[in-house]
Structure 1
Amino acid sequence: MRRTAVVTGASSGIGAEFARQLAARGYDLVLVARTEPALTALAAELTDEHQVRAEVVVQDLAAPDAAARVSDALTALGVTVDLLVNNAGFGTAGRFAQIDPGQEHDELMVNVVTLVDLTHVVLPGMLARGSGAVVNIGSTAGFNIGPHFATYASSKAFVLNFTLALWSELRGTGVTALAVAPGPVRTAFFDRLGTRKAAIGGRMITPERLVAAALRALDRDRGYVVPGASNFAMAHLMPRRPRKLVALLGRRVTSAVADALTPR
């Protein structure tokens, strides 16, 4: 029986790589993003190389009704969702008061609100069938307080905690959840953010390596995964307490990012 995966943010980077590796595993795909030409080209590539069904849903996931529109599209396509990869997301950085509020609002809509809404869309059907999975892409930024990444880091902390809570709730149902918390990845993320200094010295990994690690962790029902040894160490060995001291130390580490993004 064929399985179908929905991948958001599938037009490039991590999302496109999830689509490629899932197609190689025999999944049919529904590719969701704002950029139709890139989605259409990827769908044609996957169909040609892996003989899978690859459908395209063009949707801005910052829209208030984004999840409902995606749900309607899935119904129209007649697909049953076996795997949801909530990959779409973006970051903001700099001094909070200087960041465009509209951009931060859209960031929370994509990174948090639509992620939760889409999970609500697919989870009841998965539970009824007794099988399925939700993969949510977080970040190592979600493990600590993030001065100069206040909204982004907080959104990724939500993703991590939300996903692990789901993973715990779903035990014994045949359905699972996985949080993927990468450090810096070689994608256009930092170009959109505005500075490569936002990598904070972390070692870049490729989307191919990240997705392979994520799918291994999903196979093993790990709950969460931090791909890359140095990223794992950064996520787990940084102090968590006292929280005010951690916040103050974090500001010193990220001040160069804020300086790089401050208008002159």
Structure 2
Amino acid sequence: MPTALITGASAGLGAEFARQLARRRADLILVARTPETLEALGTELRTEYGVAVEILVADLAVESEVERVAARLRDTSDPVDLLINNAGFGLPLQFADNDIDDEVRHLRVHVEASMRLMHAALQTMRGRGGRIINVASVAGFISRSTYSACKSWLIGFSGWANAEYARDGVSVTALCPGFTHTSFHERMGLAVGEEGVPAIMWLNARDVVRTGLRDAARGRAVSVPSLRYKAIVALTRVLPRSFTSGVARRGRV
């Protein structure tokens, strides 16, 4: 059985990744900060699908706790076949008004933790084969405060790593959804409908995860779910940055 390690697995896209992979009979290592939620999800997946589920409670803004997850990825006795860097959170777009410690924590979770876990996973995947999915965002193609900058880094680094480590049998995919119905916006204190985004722009978490897993299996460096968001990404390459930044202020991805 393949084994997948998923960060931010307690809710949203992380929990959806866990359910779809368990349905495919993959064993799971679930990582998040909330032990009660992880245990409940683990019990559900063990009961329904008969897969092995390991729980790792960790705050990925803390280096020592990231290292515990990295150590699990380096374990050659029970290697991980698929790493999904999904953990993350959003902040208000007004960088100068945000607490700088919150911004640093945001950077650590989105960029530093993902980089450290990728590095650890590659130690056991090279030559043996494996897949890494970094959950980025369409926001990574648009100028949009530090969230956009973090996701842009993930997209660029994933593209390079996918080409570099293909020779070792490892694919690295940046999954770039647009606005997706999860608990992400609720954790930012936004009620449904407060984001200023038309209903047609919202994606279903199940479809996003299905697309990400499919594109990772195909070895694609970037996965953008839905034709409408593919069109938006194409437009960002030709429209002035000042224009896309202005449009992006309407909502949060």
- In 2, Cα distance between the equivalents of 1:174 and 1:238? 32
RMSD over aligned Cα atoms: 2.1
Equivalent pairs: percent with the same residue? 37
The residue that corresponds to 1:190 in the other structure is 185
Match in the other structure for 1:252 = 246
Answer whether contact 2:73 2:124 (CA < 8 A) is retained. no
Unpaired runs of at least 5, structure 1: 259-264
Cα shift at 1:194? 3.7
* Aligned residue pair count: 249
Deviation at 1:37, TM superposition (A): 0.8
Question: Match for 1:144: what amino acid?
Answer: I
Per-residue deviation, 1:223: 1.5
Structure 1 residue identity aligned to 2:61: A
1:141 is paired with a residue whose SS is: helix
Displacement of 1:236 after TM fit? 1.6
Provide structure 2 residue ranges, at least 5 long, that are not aligned to the other structure: none
Distance 1:239-1:128 versus aligned 2 partners, 3 A rule: closer
Residue 165 of structure 2 is matched in structure 1 by: 170
Q: What is the deviation of 1:184?
A: 0.5
> How high is the TM-score relative to the length of structure 2?
0.91
CA shift in 2, pair 1:77/1:207, >3 Å: farther
Say if 2:2 is the partner of 1:3.
Answer: yes
Amino acid of the residue matched to residue 229 of structure 2?
N
1:235 to 233, 247, 251: 233
Question: Is 1:66–1:114's contact at 8 Å kept on the other side of the alignment?
Answer: no
- Decide whether the 8 Å contact of 2:74 with 2:120 is kept in 1: no
Q: Counterpart amino acid of 1:220? A: R
Letter in 1 for 2:45: L
> Does structure 2 conserve the Cα–Cα contact (< 8 Å) formed by 1:144 and 1:240?
no
Deviations 1:224-245, CA, capped at 9 Å, x for gaps:
111011111111212456xxx5
Aligned equivalents of 1:182 and 1:254: distance in 2? 14
Amino acid at match of 1:253: V
Which AA in structure 2 matches 1:120? H
Partner amino acid, structure 2, of 1:123: L
Instruction: Summarize the Cα distance change of 1:48–1:91 in structure 2 as closer, same or farther, 3 Å threshold.
Output: same
Equivalent residue for 1:132, pick from 130, 133, 136: 130
Q: State the secondary structure of the residue aligned to 1:170.
A: helix
Mapping for residues 18-57 of structure 1, pairs under 5 Å: 18-57=17-56
Match of 1:261 in 2: none
1:191 and 1:182 mapped to 2: Cα distance? 17
| 1:71-220 map, 5 Å | 71-73=70-72, 79-129=78-128, 131-146=129-144, 150-195=145-190, 197-198=194-195, 200-201=197-198, 203-220=201-218
Query: What TM-score results when the alignment is normalised by the length of structure 1?
Result: 0.87
Separation in structure 2 between the aligned mates of residue 7 and residue 84 of structure 1, nearest angstrom: 6
